[in-house]
Chain A
Amino acid sequence: MVELVIFVLMGAVALAGAFTVITARNAVHAAMGLLATLFSMGVLYVLQLAHFVAAVQVIVYAGAVMTLFLFVIMLIGVDKEEDTREQIPWQRQLSLGLAVIVAVTAGALVVGGRFVWTPGAPAGAPPPNGTIQAVAQPLFEDWVLPVEVTALLLTIAAAGAIALAFRTQRAPREEQQ
């Protein structure tokens, strides 16, 4: 019962945030909507006993990624009005029609009671408790190589971002010489 109440509340917040992201004219408002969605996702993770994932979600997404987004929004300006003219005719109508079709199909599945999950775990098995130790065990035993590869990926991404920042600063000077 408690889970149902929290799920409905946080689901509503997540959907409202997502709606804000795609409709807000101001980019800062869109970022705030995304922040609401990310936070409610963290609560939904806690609800499913994924404690460490929830903590990482708040720290990395709501903390680091959103800060980066807001910094860039401040850097490149927020008061620019978005051009709503379409380059491709009917794009907006087509995409909204696609959304309605998918939403109606999903809704029919839910209302019809056909979206029933058949778990592979034996009935009555306790759900996995996502503590730090429990998550770290498979992460560093079965998934060591992927962890190292993602570490490499992060290093490359950071180096690439720095290289991009330097190049755009140097380019005008080279043209002058």
Chain B
Amino acid sequence: MTVTPGWYMTLAAVLFLAGLVGILIRRNALVMFMCIELMLNAVNLTFVAAGRAYGDLNGQVAVFFVLVVAAAEVVVGLAIIVAIFRRRATASVDEISELAG
């Protein structure tokens, strides 16, 4: 029994689903950020698996760009969370509703 790219795709789909559910049910902004990382990683796994299936290295190149964007997103996102926490002393997204109309 060999491991086909479909197996990796399935694992990535389940991981993506876990991240999506986490975003929907968690309230802590930090944990929601971790769930976003989870979803980005799942997509990276599909990139590598597809690149292998097609015999194309560009699948692995795409992972680098996702990685860089994820790193930038984490830097800015965590800075925003810390800035909000300094003012409001909370990391719960339900309490941060000043921008709501």
Contact = CB atoms under 8 A, between A and B. Distances in A.
Bound together:
yes
Which one of B4, B14, B21 has the highest number of Cβ atoms from chain A below 10 Å of its Cβ?
Answer: B21
A128 B38 contact: no
A88 B85 CA distance: 23
A61 B67 contact: yes
Given A56-B67, A143-B61, A157 B22 contact: no
B85 A76 contact: yes
Nearest to A41: B41
B28 A82 contact: yes
A130 B38 contact: no
A23 to B, nearest CB: 9
Contacts, number: 237
B26 to A, nearest CB: 7
Chain A interface bracket (under 10, 10 to 19, 20 to 34, 35 or more): 35 or more
Contacts of B85: 75-76
B99 interface: no
Interface in B21-39: 21-22, 24-28, 30-31, 33-35, 37-38
B92 to A, nearest CB: 6
Nearest to B19: A18
A45 to B, nearest CB: 6
Interface of A: 1, 3-4, 7, 11, 14-15, 18-19, 21-22, 24, 27, 30-31, 34, 37-38, 41, 44-45, 47-50, 52-53, 56-57, 60-61, 64-65, 68-69, 72-73, 75-76, 80, 82-84, 87, 91-92, 95-96, 98-99, 102-103, 106, 110, 115-117, 119-121, 125-128, 130, 134-135, 137-139, 142-143, 146, 150, 153-154, 156-158, 160-161, 164-165, 167-168
Q: Which 10 A-B pairs have the closest CB atoms?
A: A121-B55, A22-B22, A95-B24, A157-B72, A18-B18, A161-B79, A119-B53, A164-B79, A117-B5, A150-B68
